[in-house]
Amino acid sequence: MVSTDELAEKIFTIRDPNYSKKTSPKISAAEKAINKTLKRKDIETTADPDNEGDFLVLFIHGFAASKYCWLDPDVGNMGWVKEYNQDPEPIDFGWHSIPPPPFIPVEWSLSKQIVPKGATELLDKHGIDWLTYSQKSAFGDIEVSVKELTKIMTAITNEYGERRIIIIAHSRGGLISKRYLDITKKTPVEKLLTFGTPFGGTFFSAFEMFRLPSKQFLNRVKVVRRLWDVSQERKIESFATKQMAPGSKFLKELSSKGCRNDVKYVNVAGTNSLITNVYTWRWETSCLLPKFLLAKEKMNLRKKLVSEKHSIHEWYDLPKNYLFYPFNWTLVPNKIFEIYPRVGHPEVLRGDGAVSVESALMDEKEAKQYIISKNHVDMTCCKTGYDIMIREIKETMNTN
């Protein structure tokens, strides 16, 4: 029987984060200083305190997430960045003397896992400073996260001087950022770039009814907590999603504020609700029949590779004798269903699986908008998303 830990490791990425970032003694010292000022440990940055006046990109993650969405997207998205548009290739298990057991599923799997580099590494290559952090209340009241962001903005100015800031935010992080801009008179922010932000709400707000069991489950089950709290430094004090409900008081007030004249707004919406495919693996039907002619070809190939002193990995699973090993065992994938099925909510029917296109685009003529064929998870760590980030950052940097 499969244990809970084994099942979790098969479905999710459970490992220590792995990423690189630009640093220097001054950068490291300033990073420690801003964490000490705010009594935190999680803020990471490549900002140099000597570069006052330069641009700084501030990354803000979404609901139930962490800074690792930007640093190590595989860990930050729990292993759910998938190659869902392409089925996996068959797996060759070499040549055998008997056929495999027929018609019995051997294994199951999800779509191939992708391990992309983080947006922070992309910015390092372009020589652009960045800062990110893990929200202390990633499941709770958005207003609490707005106050947290306000404190971080103040600390940035105190530690790094006047910086020209571009915010890149995902999902709920965009609501936090928009709310901050709405209530702040003077801000160093020049552009807000949002990915999959539910300005018009999302059906995930229905999780509010499960807030008590969800809070206990997420805090107390070790394997589960490891997913959302990679560094094991946070604890869920509150669980609130009703602010993201369509037509909520919070979203109505957010919409009524419109856009600031001194900030550029850019929205990115996704149109692919597919997260992954689920496959069972069976032995290919042709494996049940001997293939003497092909086995003979492979046997001769084995002899050739051995005589030429090729690596053992190139020939060890080829037949030694085509008469004794005529059965080629090959596992083939059989797609049994997709996650999500294309039914029900507009977030699934015409959105990224969590936020509909209409919800992700602000109803403001001043806002620049993109629509891309990506889901809610991979839109911030795919080539299309990265191209938009760099384009929008450079456009702002070339202004004034």
Q: Which amino acid is at 73?
A: P
For strands 264-270 and 189-195, give the pairing: parallel
What is the reported pTM?
A: 0.89
Whether 11 and 79 have beta carbons less than 8 Å apart is answered as: yes
Tokens of 279: 């496959």
- Of the CA atoms within 13 Å of residue 70, those in its CB half-sphere come to 27
Nearest to 117 by CA among 9, 45, 251, 19: 19
What pLDDT is recorded for position 233? 72
Extract the residue ranges of the chain whose pLDDT is less than 70.
1-10, 206-228, 232, 236, 238, 340-345, 400
Distances (CA, A) of 121 to 3, 124, 134, 208, 210: 36, 5, 17, 35, 37
What pLDDT is recorded for position 224? 64
Q: Which amino acid is at 330?
A: T
Whether 272 and 373 have beta carbons less than 8 Å apart is answered as: yes
Buried b (16+ CB within 10 A) or exposed e, 39-60: ebebbbbbbbeeeeebbbbbbb
Per-residue pLDDT tens digits for 186-245: 999 999 999 999 999 998 776 654 555 566 666 666 666 666 677 767 776 767 789 999
∠386-391-394 over CA atoms, to 5°?
A: 120
What pLDDT is recorded for position 300? 97
Tokens 């908008």 -> residue: 369
Length of the chain: 400
How far is Cα 176 from Cα 243, in angstroms, rounded to an integer? 11
Q: Which amino acid is at 218?
A: L
Distances (CA, A) of 298 to 94, 309, 310: 10, 16, 15
What pLDDT is recorded for position 51? 92
For strands 129-132 and 44-45, give the pairing: antiparallel
Radius of gyration of the chain (CA): 25
Per-residue pLDDT tens digits for 48-86: 999 999 999 999 999 989 999 999 999 999 888 999 888
What pLDDT is recorded for position 293? 97
Domains along the sequence of the chain with CATH: 4-80+116-273+351-397 (3.40.50.1820), 91-113+278-335 (no CATH)
- For residue 337, the tally of other CB atoms under 10 A from its CB is 9
What pLDDT is recorded for position 236? 67
For strands 368-372 and 264-270, give the pairing: parallel
Distances (CA, A) of 39 to 43, 145, 361: 10, 16, 36
